[in-house]
Structure 1
Amino acid sequence: MKILVTVKRVVDFNVKIRVKADGSGVELANVKMSMNPFDEISVEEALRLKEAGKASEVVVVSIGPAKAEETLRTALAMGADRAILVETEDQVEPLTVAKIVKGVAEAEQPGLIIVGKQAIDDDSNQTGQMLSALLGWAQGTFASKVELGDGKVNVTREVDGGLQTVELKLPAVVTTDLRLNEPRYASLPNIMKAKKKPLDKKSPADFGVDTAPRLKVLKTEEPSGRKAGIKVKSVAELVEKLKSEAGVL
């Protein structure tokens, strides 16, 4: 069985985000970029399933600028077999991503698609669900455990009340949560080998998808600074301030 994994190039999670002076977006010039952490977990899970003999091939796909090839090479260095870059300079929205991945899935015919539950740049948490709807496949979201069986996959997912296990008929879409696994580091030999692994380049037009945005960002601004706290002398004074000043009681 083939597993398709989506990966996204985002600002590294260790970088302090800076907003552009004109408020038009986040400053990306000379900023360290890396693979979205949830997508690293997705790649790791696909590789573990392959190593367990449950999958025959792991294909990674990314939608973005030419520099996203670096992110795909990272996934190949981790152990993925092939990569596909759908190259576009446009800022693609979740629905656009889902439509493109649907086209890739129809061409590749995977038995399972693993998607990070969200990207740390926009935190939309939409692509996996939209992709499932477009394909008409079962979905298991916020996965903390994935078990592949014969024609099915059991997904343990995190819900408000604890854990829920669902059985999905393959093919299916699974979105990964933080506690699913701990991604591996790519070794130097594997980084060198990744340079020779196949990486195909496509465009959104190849899948008949229009990348024109449907949303317009009006303004981006940093959160306001936190106000200094105060000390109170008694519980009665605390309650009074919660009522009169904070307005929470």
Structure 2
Amino acid sequence: MSTKLRILVPVKRVIDASLKPRINKAQTGVETKGVKFSINPFDDIAVEEAAKIKAAHKGAVEKLHAVSIGGTKAQDVLRIALAKGFDTSTLVDVGEQDVEPLQVSKILQKVVEKDNFNLVILGKQAIDDDSNQTGQMLAGLLNWPQATNASEVVIEGDSVTVTKEIDGGAETVKAKLPLIITTDLRLNEPKFVTLPKMMKAKKKPIETLKPEDLGVSVEQRLKVLKLEEPPVRKAGIKVKDVDELVAKIKELI
């Protein structure tokens, strides 16, 4: 491989995917107190894929770096990346503030430009807001090609071939570095991190920055007015035959 890979993987700390979120009393968001948090599942897939690339292309990966935008506790998800073989990591500390996809993309743009990364692998979406926008916005800001919803990634020299999930099938695209890739569920199955590796990762330093250090404002442009549960669906009924079905439908029209 003629070009050394410098890979950036953004990771987000979210409410654990196995839990059912509850709306808070103020109805402004989901309840975050007393609940388990984990790495965003799609980001975990991105971490696993970057680690696989490093193992498959020995000597070709110059740097494997994880970045998280969040509060101090977001260090937990960075430790997972470090335990899986990442070289370095950065926490962009925004406290407890929610950061919108455009601001996240602008922060990532600065991180990419700061350390000259040429491949960004990130989850296609976070399971808390389901925006599915950050990868696309980052590609636009950097003016890089993008391959979204990846189910397979093959790197050959300076070219990357990506199989993408599309409605009813798969599409294969090819682009040269630099490149943005967003991950889908079928790309891989993240391995469990052993306790010894996590303990070792806790000894690795984490760079901490503020958004202003990168020249980015995280002022929110959107305000959540109200969050509420969807209306409860009425129970269905059984009908004896087609005639009764037709009669019931006519009653509802």
Mapping of residues 233-248 of structure 1, within 5 Å: 233-245=240-252
Distance 1:237 1:109 in 2: 68
Aligned to 2:94: 88
2-structure distance, mates of 1:112, 1:151: 11
Q: Deviations 1:110-167 (Å, cap 9, x if unpaired)?
A: 1210010000000000000000000000000000000111111101001113110000
Moved over 6 A (4+): none
SS of 2:157's equivalent in the other structure is: coil
- 1:199-239 deviations in whole A, cap 9, x for unaligned? 10001001111101111111011222232110111123223
Q: Secondary structure at the match of 1:23?
A: coil
SS of corresponding position for 1:21: coil
| One-letter amino acid of the counterpart of residue 28, structure 1 | T
Q: What root-mean-square deviation, in Å, do the aligned CA atoms of Structure 1 and Structure 2 show?
A: 1.2
Q: Which residue of 1 aligns with 2:204?
A: 197
Identical counterparts, % of pairs = 54
Structure 2: tracts of 5 or more residues without a match = none
Task: Indicate the SS of the match to 1:40.
Answer: helix
Q: Structure 1: which amino acid aligns with 2:9?
A: V
Tell me, in whole angstroms, the C-alpha distance in 2 between the residues paired with 1:132 and 1:225. 40
Equivalent residue of 1:189, what SS? helix
Which of 152, 168, 175 is the equivalent residue of 1:168? 175
Match in the other structure for 2:76 = 70
For the pair 1:123 / 2:127, whether they are aligned, the reply is: no
SS at match of 1:165: strand
Shift of 1:27: 0.6
Distance 1:80 1:239, change over 3 A: farther
1:154 to 161, 170, 178: 161
Match of 1:177 among 181, 184, 189: 184
CA–CA distance in structure 2, aligned partners of residues 142 and 148 of structure 1: 17
Q: Structure 1 regions of 5+ residues with no counterpart?
A: none
User: Paired residue for 1:112?
Assistant: 119
Q: Secondary structure of the equivalent of 1:67?
A: helix
TM-aligned CA deviation for residue 243 of structure 1: 4.9
* Residue 186 (structure 1) aligned with residue 190 (structure 2): no
SS in 2 for 1:56: strand
What secondary structure, in the 3-state scheme, does the structure 1 residue paired with 2:27 have?
A: coil
Aligned counterparts of 1:163 and 1:240: Cα–Cα separation in 2: 44
Q: Does the aligned pair in 2 maintain the 1:117–1:141 contact within 8 Å?
A: yes
Matched, 1:26 2:30: yes
The total of aligned residue pairs comes to 246
The secondary structure found in structure 1 opposite 2:164 is strand
Partner amino acid, structure 1, of 2:12: K
3-state secondary structure, aligned to 2:197 = helix
TM-score (norm 1): 0.95
